[in-house]
Amino acid sequence: MGTSVVDLGPRLAVVLVLLTALAAAGGRLSGLGQERPVVVAALRATVQLAAVSAVLLAVVGSLWRSAAFVLLMLTVAAVTAAGRVSGLPLRAPGAPGRVAAAALAVVGGAGPVVGLVLASGTVPLRGEAVVPVAGILVGGAMTATSLAGRRLREELAGRRGEVEAALALGLLPRDAVLLVARPSAATALVPPLDQTRTVGLVTLPGAYVGVLLGGGSPLAAGAAQLLVLVGLLAAEVAAVWIVTELVARGQVLADLPR
């Protein structure tokens, strides 16, 4: 085996085209109507990963450039999460407030975890280590924020009468919303909890496989994966907590009963 885990020749391009076609065909034949989104997502991923790979070659050699790249990731994560939580496009009125609220959840989730692993020396303070670790944690916090916020929006719309009844009984707006919001938001933690509980039994996640294929020992791979999984749990719990509080305080969704 060479230094590359994947053969970067023509066979890779052929396999990627076939996999995309398979997914698109499944989306069409199943009646889900997702063939076009599948193709668009695959093309976007190809272009974006090619661009990011080229940028990272210049970024990881400098800690300051790596920090700037992490900031860019945080910005994109906040914009993406804001759209998922609110269901509104970026051009809709009030976008800065929505993005700021989503950024608070993403940064509040990922920031303390990244700071802890770097300050402790568990992850070396080098660009090639900081960028991937920060990317994993920011991505996890973004996903948790999006899932929890979207679930909250749907649940509060469907159970608006319960919130209004709680308000009529004298509860404060925040407390009335939280009666419905907390159980619903908790469902966003099911995927990371299941992944952590079943690691090594159902799947071998990316960090583990990456360390092994990079020549590390199984013990080192297990330690790296454990750090990632527990770090993701901490980041995602914090992100869900923050976005739930922000929704309850009326800082994300504008049409909550008050």
Q: What is the pLDDT of residues 106-159, one digit of tens each?
A: 999 999 999 999 999 888 888 878 888 899 999 999 999 999 988 888 888 888
Residue 2: what pLDDT?
A: 44
Which of the 8 DSSP states describes residue 6?
S
- Per the structure block, which two tokens stand in for 120? 């402790």
Residue 153: exposure state from Cβ atoms within 10 A (0-12, 13-18, ≥19): buried
Cβ proximity of 258 and 173 under 8 Å: yes
Residue 234: what pLDDT?
A: 93
Hey, is 117 helix, strand or coil?
A: helix
Tell me which residue has tokens 């009984």. 169
**Res 33 pLDDT > 50:** yes
Structural domain spans, the chain: 1-59, 60-248
Residue 144: what pLDDT?
A: 93
- Which of 145, 229, 137 has its CA nearest to residue 192? 229
Tell me which residue has tokens 């020549």. 215
Q: Categorize the per-residue pLDDT at 6 as very low, low, confident or very high, splitting at 50, 70 and 90.
A: low
Tens digits of residue pLDDT in 173-189 = 888 888 888 888 888 88
Tell me which residue has tokens 């695959």. 42
**Res 91 pLDDT > 50:** yes
